[in-house]
């Protein structure tokens, strides 16, 4: 039976990082784009995370999670648009 965990030991630099550094990255990934509020910052952070996942060799493992998250986000946007037709989504 396959594991549902996203963790994969590949001996990469990401596996060798201290867990505190990983937690600080997650906190920074949430706070910095939220505080700055600029779409370029969001895009840059997504690009940085993607590069780190590719460098660690685990990008394939995240595709199902991103797919499910994408379906949920699109559903929310559609339902929000149906319920509040006067609201505008600024991209």
Q: What are the structural domain ranges in the chain?
A: 13-57, 59-91
- Is the CB of residue 14 less than 8 Å from the CB of residue 52? yes
Average of pLDDT values for 51-56?
Answer: 89
Distance CA(32)–CA(38), nearest Å, equals: 10
pTM confidence score: 0.67
The pLDDT score that the predictor gives to residue 16 is 85
pLDDT, mean of residues 36-62? 88
- Residue 6: per-residue pLDDT: 66
d(CA 80, CA 8): 36
């Amino acid at each position: 039976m396959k594991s549902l965990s996203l963790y994969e030991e590949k001996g990469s630099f990401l596996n060798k990082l201290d867990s505190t550094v990983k937690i600080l990255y997650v906190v920074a990934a949430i706070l910095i784009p939220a505080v700055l509020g600029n779409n370029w910052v969001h895009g840059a952070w997504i690009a940085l995370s993607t590069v780190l996942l590719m460098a660690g060799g685990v990008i394939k493992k995240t595709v199902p999670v991103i797919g499910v998250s994408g379906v949920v986000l699109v559903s929310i946007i559609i339902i929000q648009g149906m319920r509040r037709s006067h609201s505008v989504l600024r991209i």
